[in-house]
Structure 1
Amino acid sequence: MTRVVSLFLPTWPTDRWRRKAGNIAPPVEAPLVLVGRSGSRRIVLAADAAAWAAGLRVGMPIAAAQVRAPGLVLRDAEPKADAEALERLALWLLQHVAPIVAPDPPEGILIDSTGADHLHGGEAAMLDSLVKRLALSSVAARAAAADTRGAAHALARHTARPTFVAPPGHGASVLASLPLEALRLPDGMASDLRVLGFERIGDLLAQPRAPLTRRFGPELVRRIDQALGDVAEPIEPVRPPDLVEARRAFAEPIAAPETVARHIGRLAAELGAALETRGLGARRLDLFCQRVDNRMQVIRVGTARPVCDARRLTRLLRDRIEIIAPGLGIEVMRLAATVVEPMVCRQSVSSLVEETVPDVSDLVDLLANRLGAQAVYRAAPRASDVPERSVERIPALETGTSAIWPGHWPRPARLLWRPEPIEAVALLPDHPPASFTWRGVRRRVRRADGPERVFGEWWARDAERVAVRDYFRVEDEAGERYWIYRAGDGEDAETGSHRWFLHGVFG
């Protein structure tokens, strides 16, 4: 089922202007509008959040806006620069989010996320990540995912706070309560409909189509059908200017999986040769399959390192071939290297001098494309004495930092996600527990080693200036070994609560 994401940027022109102005931009509390002309009149073409809160609206005369908002900051609008920046953002999303992305001017972007959301942890996680990443760049955003372009557009602007994911197969249920403007109607049509008593989209859905068409023309019914998915509304994707791709058109549509797989191999061979000629390797590949009904089926795969080997690219794409629904047949197939990097030549070293390191990048790529890049990682040390901060997740083939694993004290093979409280019997301040109860089971300690004192990191949190933990390695009567600690030094209450916790289990 097709899924479309609408990314709504309500204050895109003013956000872009503030980013461009940098340190000389007025404070965010000061209302800002961008000024343009309508004939001989100067009007508001864009307004930031503070201006909207003051009651200013697009199209309002500047004189009226200045009366309503004293201290209003006026700057010239740059519609062409706004459109160019929106296209650059769409290109960035094409490389990092999904293979079909298109600007939706003047303040939106459309993303066909079908088959790509699993690479980002699901639709909800993908939308949340998008909105937060834009917020870090001082760009306000709302996003919605739905079955159609029209529904996603409407939900992003009237429902998302800041994100909304409509359930697959939602139909008209998520649209019925939205205002008429959510249908992207021509200027004035919503007002004319309200004169007749229509307030919400649901009011229109209950009416026969013929009278609406006679009164308002075909545009109203077309917009309703687009929102419901009864009329196709394809997305024309943005294309990088230096895109490396291979294309194949068929005299007769193809549909059999083995035929599709055979042509994938041919496209991969052609693309691999083009990449090798340029000294490039693909980091992200998009396979576009255009069906006879003009619907697009897309496969996106990524690689941990630049790759131009045709056999490897073919294997990655064929591993995802089951998500292609050919329908009545595929007319055109196109394979594009959306993200490329220069190939790095490595000199082979004789095994007589150095032991050869096995190349697991092919396995990493297969797992990452099946499960998502977040699910394939490795643990690397961080420069921290606090156990839960001393390890981080990094990409499976990344070299990591210069930090090394601590070797002066043994660490458990399994570190709990969060330390779990236990009941312990121990002599203070420096003795290990004689027994402890964890998850309802009492364990008598037979051997113990410690304490290992870990001090708080005062530069990370003020509350850790005097905080300490005393860690012990203990072994119970069954031979199981645990890593437990006491919060505090056993004497001063300011150093911790003196409660006991289990933090890890030795293998």
Structure 2
Amino acid sequence: MAAQGPRRLVAAVDRAARARGLRPGMPVAQAQGMVVDLVLAEAAPDADRAGLTRLSAWCLAYAPLVAPDPPDGIWIEIAGAAHLHGGEAGLVRDLTRRIAAGGFAVRAAVADTPGAAWAVARFGRRRGRDGRDPAREEARGGPDETRGGLVPPGAQGRELAELPLAALRLEAEAVAGLAALGVERVADLAGLARAPVRLRFGGAVLTRLDQALGHAPEPLTYLAPPETLAVRLAFPEPIGGAETLARAVAGLTAALAADLGHRDLGARRLDLVCQRVDGLPQSLSVGLARPSRSPRHLARLFADRLALIDPGYGIEAARLIAARVEPLRARQLAGTAGPAEGGEPEALAELIDRLAVRLGPRRLYRAAPVESEWPERSARRVAPLAPASGLTWPAGLPRPARLLDPPEPVQALALLPDAPPASFAWRRRRCRVARADGPERVFGEWWRSDAEISASRDYYRVEDETGARYWLFRDAPAAEGGRWWLHGLGEA
């Protein structure tokens, strides 16, 4: 509850109170009359605003442009940064899951305009960016259901048409006045003549409608991360050409690299924010496999993606932000005696960065050993430059060049109970075995589950008449009716 002069009003309600008919803004005395055992808590608006600001700062991990929207909203400009989190759907899914895990109820939406995203997140039905219902993408982890809606590009008008006028963030008096005229939906308001609406209800009603539909810009006040290294370049005349923008980015990376060098830092993530003359920002983000402050390398990473920036009627300023930095000490450069120590890792890191920009960071990984007897569990994906764990695979155990996960069933014929198969059929093709080696027995990992206490596999390396090599196993002794499976192809 909150005090408003001599009156005490309900500031917020939970789900149970809302189900009993309580609403924010009603007098506390009325609420207590409706619910006898009502539990009241004093509102702390200052603490709420501080908490929202902290949560907004945490959201900077997803995109460089984040703005709090009191009392309970956050704007995130994800254009140019969604690919770092698996696309728009992946970003929404990960963001809502992590916030819900902290005990918050979450509703999120992605749209072309802030107003449309605000409306769909609070009043709209859940849809994917391709028009499909993403209900199966939802996760649970908080006191309320986590929701995510993705409005198809350019479809905000269709998505908002059936929503109530409150979805446009209008004042309660304007909503009530329009409702008295029979105007209850956004489509009803959009169909009215604009001049009478402006004359009777003021320009704010039409401004909110235009902002939601994308007909008018909506400037937002974005957060600036504390102690963030950034450089800015303003242009005498708006620019729009790709080559001109590339030269500007090269100048920004050179200036930022100098600042990083003065602090013995290297960038791990860079955010480029271009301010258009119409007030709409365009942003790009790139991640690096290891810290770097090489101007040439940083500029090259952006050069591959500058085509994604829509200059509109021109870009009047650009800002390059080092969103994530790590210590990077100076080192000895290569001399005439040969390459400097550590030169090869730097070249590898630059190659990984360029591939990540083109293919996506999730597609780059290396296999790291895992202490497990079962082959499909003996490796895991790690970052390309992740430090070595010290584990290695046994040198005396040959393994196939390609492992099938999961193993594929085959029909095999063995002449003796523990002998390798004489022939087998795989994918409608029969192979006659010319040479074989085995068995190599592998037992189940009993500490994982009871089903693996007595599990075992007998592996055989076989070669058919054409010279092709396969890795087969039987998941139980022949006397127990074990089945044959193909687990690998070739030989490492």
TM over 0.5: yes
| 1:154 maps to amino acid | A
Of 215, 232, 240 in structure 2, the residue corresponding to residue 247 of structure 1 is 232
User: Could you say which residue in structure 1 is the equivalent of 2:285?
Assistant: 300
The whole-number CA distance in structure 2 between the counterparts of 1:336 and 1:435 is 63
Map 1:304-383; keep pairs closer than 5 Å: 304-344=289-329, 357-359=344-346, 360-383=348-371
2:90 to 77, 102, 125: 125
RMSD: 2.9
Alpha-carbon distance in structure 2 between the residues aligned to 1:503 and 1:52: 56
Quickly say closer, same or farther: Cα 1:187–1:461, change in 2 above 3 A: farther
Deviation at 1:318, TM superposition (A): 2.2
* Contact 2:56/2:66, CA 8 A, preserved across alignment: yes
Once residues 118 and 147 of structure 1 are traced to their aligned partners in structure 2, the CA distance between those partners, rounded to angstroms, is 16
Cα distance in structure 1, aligned partners of 2:84 and 2:295: 23
Distance 1:444 1:69, change over 3 A: farther
Paired position in structure 1 for 2:50: 84
Is residue 394–residue 400 contact of structure 1 (8 Å, CA) maintained in 2?
Answer: no
1:402 matched to 2:390? The reply is yes
Q: Deviations over 1:264-310 (max 9, x none)?
A: 22221211111111121111111222222222222211211122222
Residue 449 of structure 2 corresponds to which residue in structure 1?
Answer: 461
In structure 2, the gaps of 5 or more residues are 127-134, 136-146
Change in 2 beyond 3 A, CA 1:440/1:215 = farther
Instruction: Indicate the SS of the match to 1:173.
Output: helix
Please name the residue that 1:505 is paired with.
Answer: 489
**Contact kept in structure 2, 1:292 and 1:330, CA below 8 Å:** yes
Partner deviation per Cα, 1:420-447 (whole Å, 9 max, x = no partner) = 2222333685333332222222222222
Bigger RCO of structures 1 and 2 (CA < 8 A, at least 6 apart): 1
Judge which range, 358-367 or 470-479, deviates more.
470-479
Cα shift readout 1:471-503 (whole Å, capped 9, x = no counterpart): 32222222221222233344558xxxx333222
**Matched residue SS, 1:152:** helix
Answer yes or no: is the 8 Å Cα contact 2:111–2:156 preserved in 1: no
**Using the alignment, how far apart are the partners of 1:304 and 1:114 within structure 2?**
22
The change in CA–CA distance for 1:356 and 1:324 in structure 2 (over 3 A counts) is: closer
Cα deviation per residue 1:232-282 (whole Å; 9 max; x = unaligned)? 113322101211111122222233332222222222121111111112111
Note closer, same or farther for the CA distance 1:355–1:63 as it changes in structure 2 (3 Å cut).
Answer: closer
Partner of 2:404: 416
- For the 8 Å contact 1:118–1:371, the answer to whether it is kept is no
2:165 is aligned to 180
1:277 corresponds to which residue?
262
Write the distance in 1 (CA, Å) between the matches of 2:259 and 2:51: 30
Deviations 1:321-358 (A, max 9, x none): 22223233222122111111111456789989999744
State the Cα distance separating 1:36 from its structure 2 match: 3.2
Report what 1:111 is aligned to. 76
Closer, same or farther: CA 452–189 of 1 in aligned 2, 3 Å: farther
Q: CA deviation at 1:80?
A: 1.9
Q: TM-score, normalised by structure 1?
A: 0.83
- Aligned match of 2:439: 451
Structure 1 segment 465-476 matched on structure 2, within 5 A: 465-476=453-464
Deviates more, 1:65-74 or 1:424-433: 65-74
Structure 1 CA distance for aligned equivalents of residues 420 and 75 of structure 2:
60
The gaps in structure 1 that reach 5 residues or longer are 1-34
- Using the size of structure 2 for normalisation, the TM-score is 0.86
Q: Would the alpha carbon gap of residues 472 and 241 (structure 1) be closer, same or farther in structure 2, given more than 3 Å must change? A: same
State whether structure 2 residue 241 is matched by structure 1 residue 256: yes
Measure the CA separation in 2 of the matches of 1:464 and 1:49.
Answer: 45
Code of the residue aligned with 1:377 in structure 2: it is Y
| Residue 93 (str. 1) matches residue 81 (str. 2) | no
**How many residues align structurally?**
468
Aligned position for 1:147: 112
The corresponding residue for 1:199 is 184
CA–CA separation in structure 1 for the residues paired with 2:187 and 2:94: 32
| Cα drift, residue 68 of structure 1 | 6.3
- Which of 15, 33, 37 does residue 3 from structure 2 map onto? 37
